[in-house]
Structure formats: C-alpha cells, structure tokens
C-alpha cells in the first residue's frame, strides 16, 4: 500500500514537472509572438495625415533637426554609394523615398537600406505625374507600391512623396484616404541636374533646423555622393542634428504647404 502511494506521488510530480516545462515553453512562444507583432506594428504604424479646415495638406518643414531625404527611381550605382557614405559618417537618421517598381527590381539594395535602419517612404510605383492622371490611377499606383514593399517584407513608414513634386488636391485627398502623409521639401538641391558640387552645396548653405532637403540617390545624381560628405560636415560643424521625416511628423511641429 505504501509503495503504491509513493508511486502515485512520483507520477504526479513527474506530470507537474513535464507540464510545467511545456507551459513555460508555450508562454515563451506566446510572448515572443506578441513582441514580434508589436515591433511590426510600430514600424508600420500610420502617422497622422495633416489636415486643415480646407482638407489635407502636405508638410514641407519641421522644427528640430534637418531631414536628409533621397528619392530613388532608377539605377543601382549611386544608391549604394549614398548608403555607404551615410554609414561611414555614422548618420543613422535619413529617409529614402523609393518607387515601387525600382524596389521590386533592386531588392538587395532595399534590404541594404532597411538593414542600415534608414527610414523608407513611398514614391509611388511607376513614377507618375499625379497631376496628369485620373484619381483611380493614382490610387492604384500608391497601393501597388505598398503591395511591393509588403511582399519584400520591407518595414516602411506611411509617408509618401509625389514622384516629381507635382501634386494637387486630388492626390492629397487620395493619400489621406489611404492614411498616407504627404511629404514635400523645403530645400531642393537639384542634384539630378548635376550642376556641380559647389552649386549643390550652395543650395544648402542657408539650411537650418526644420528643413527637409531633397536629394536623389538615382543614377542621375552623379555628383550627390561627392557633395554629401561635405554637406554632412558643414551641418555637423554648426551643431545641427539629423532627424527622419517621421520624427518631424511625430513631433507635430511641422509646417504645411498650400497646393501650388
């Protein structure tokens, strides 16, 4: 009788130990899943679209820091140079606006941008002039870009820039409906025209806190990679810090722009 009771106690102890381990493993799995889901959520959480009494507006200027932004729509040489320069100069805050068609054809560079923890925003899919196409085509173009980023597993922000800077009320409203914040710029370096390194530098000499600088990491901007280190050094000598566009938006300290 004693032996039988002892055996039952031992079985119960074994049962509790084994199931305790299973419960611990299960709890670890659940917690890991929750943390992972939260990380994905905060990476893709929608930013507030700026609206006024007259409807949604694009924003082009913040209050603190300078935002270095790079549009990419074609090519594969300059983009990698820009990424390497930013990393070499330990610039962690920069924003890349990528066209979906380019990202689809250059996933290895997109991955490099993502792995460097640079911010990624939308530049549409087909690099359309949104003033020249119908509403539904604008909507399809934006949704197609998001679809590509999702397929590539790219962490991106819900910010969008009109490919050539041309936009109207229709684009603003459609972006607003898709929960996208429209981003313009306060300083255009016109680097894609290759005006010379000194000319590019001249455009940013008056840059100050809150400015959003437009540059290009497409292969058209052959002088950008030469000007960028000089630009970074100039800003740092003035004690200016670098921020992402979404940092500016999150602060809520931005200036909106009327449609041209």
pLDDT value, residue 187: 97
What pTM was estimated for this model as a whole?
0.78
The tens digit of pLDDT for each residue in 125-161 reads 999 999 999 999 999 999 999 999 999 999 999 999 9
Pairing of β 95-98 and β 119-122:
parallel
What's the rounded Cα separation, in Å, for the pair 130 and 117? 29
Q: Which residue has the tokens 């459609």?
A: 174
Residue 169 above 50 pLDDT?
yes
Q: What is the mean pLDDT of the chain?
A: 83
Read off the pLDDT of residues 53-91 as tens digits, 9 standing for 90 and up. Answer: 455 778 889 989 999 999 999 999 999 999 999 999 999
Question: Which of these ranges, 10-14, 130-134, 170-174, 176-180, has the smallest mean pLDDT?
Answer: 10-14
Write out the E strands in 84-239.
95-98, 119-122, 159-160, 181-182, 187-188, 212-216
Place 8 in a pLDDT band, splitting at 50, 70 and 90. low
Q: By CB neighbour count within 10 A (0-12 exposed, 13-18 middle, 19+ buried), where does 213 fall?
A: buried
């Amino acid at each position: 009788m004693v032996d039988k009771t002892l055996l039952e106690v031992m079985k119960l102890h074994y049962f509790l130990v084994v199931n305790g381990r299973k419960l611990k493993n299960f709890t670890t799995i659940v917690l890991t899943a929750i943390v992972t889901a939260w990380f994905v959520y905060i990476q893709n959480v929608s930013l507030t679209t700026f609206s006024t009494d007259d409807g949604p507006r694009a924003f082009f200027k913040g209050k603190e820091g300078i935002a270095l932004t790079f549009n990419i729509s074609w090519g594969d040489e300059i983009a990698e140079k820009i990424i390497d320069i930013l990393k070499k100069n330990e610039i962690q805050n920069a924003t890349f606006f990528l066209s979906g068609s380019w990202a689809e054809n250059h996933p290895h560079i997109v991955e490099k941008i993502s792995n460097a923890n640079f911010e990624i925003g939308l530049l549409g899919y087909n690099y359309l002039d949104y003033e020249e196409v119908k509403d539904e085509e604008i909507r399809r173009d934006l949704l197609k870009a998001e679809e590509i980023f999702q397929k590539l597993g790219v962490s991106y922000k819900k910010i969008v820039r009109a490919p050539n800077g041309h936009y109207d009320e229709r684009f603003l409203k459609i972006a607003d409906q898709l929960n996208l914040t429209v981003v313009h710029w306060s300083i255009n370096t016109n680097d894609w025209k290759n005006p010379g390194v000194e000319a590019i530098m001249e455009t940013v000499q008056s840059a100050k806190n809150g400015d959003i600088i437009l540059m290009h990491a497409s292969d058209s901007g052959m002088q950008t990679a030469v000007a960028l280190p000089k630009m970074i050094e100039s800003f740092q000598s003035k004690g200016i810090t670098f921020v992402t566009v979404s940092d500016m938006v999150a602060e809520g300290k931005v200036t909106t722009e009327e449609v041209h």
